[in-house]
Amino acid sequence: MTSGGGVRAGNGGSMRPRGFLGAGQWLSRAMSRCVLEPRPPGKRWMVAGLGNPGLPGTRHSVGMAVLGQLARRLGVAESWTRDRHCAADLALAPLGDAQLVLLRPRRLMNANGRSVARAAELFGLTAEEVYLVHDELDKPLGRLALKLGGSARGHNGVRSCISCLNSNVSLPFCCATGSGGPGVPQHLAKASWASLALPQAMPRLRVGIGRPTHPEAVQAHVLGCFSPAEQELLPLLLDRATDLILDHIRERSQGPSLGP
């Protein structure tokens, strides 16, 4: 076992934790700041927030902002630990009988998939047990859509994850609309819910950032910071995104596992 978060290969093969206790024992040694109590058997999910490390506050890194809010909601905001084996920041959190692995890649967006796939391998997860959270140009600011499968739609971070996890990208998805409750703007209240039974397709929470009018402005828009007016919407948006992820995982955790 390496001290920096990796798992040493032996007898020509790599080792990875099996079961909740195995994952806890590995992580407690590999990440000195993370203390994991032994947990009974249950389901495990990963939530990965895509973005560019070192560029917080930009539209392209809104997935990482959602992960930050998720960690605060789950009480593990101070538990992030850098794992050099995955090239990512990791935190573990319980959710009922389930366990969540929160991941923020430390590679550039175009190579995020390498971090996500390596962590999925170490924790014994398949593509449908990995949630991606990422920005979406083709949805207006604040619109949330939770879908299963589909193409990368030009998003290089998603394309990297699909490739590295061998996720099925050709499956359709089913959706229903949830309400945001009192005081929530209409465009923040609408959210698509994914079908639950399509194997090898990653659930993806797409967070709308809006598309600029002129195509040549797209790169500056994506890599730019949210405007002051947009920043006023962010707290509500991050809360709604966190609600969607947690509600969806709770619902899936109650049913049979989709994984092998």
Q: Catalytic positions, please?
A: 60
Q: What are phi and psi of 205, to 5 degrees?
A: -95, 110
Angle between helices 156-165 and 112-122 (to 10 degrees): 30
241: left (phi over 0), alpha (psi -120 to 50) or beta: alpha
At 87, the amino acid letter reads A
List the structure tokens of 230. 């947009």
Q: What are phi and psi of 10, to 5 degrees?
A: -145, 145
Token pair 């389930």: residue: 98
- The DSSP symbol for 178 reads P
Distance separating alpha carbons of residues 59 and 66, to the nearest angstrom: 12
List the structure tokens of 8. 């040493």
Shortest CA distance to 204 belongs to which of 106, 125, 132? 132
DSSP string, 70-127: HHHHTT-TT--EEETTTTEEEEEEEETTEEEEEEEE-S-GGGHHHHHHHHHHHTT--G
Helix ranges (H only) for the chain are 19-30, 62-73, 112-122, 156-165, 186-189, 218-223, 228-254
Dihedral (Cα; 225, 47, 72, 196), 10-degree rounding: 110
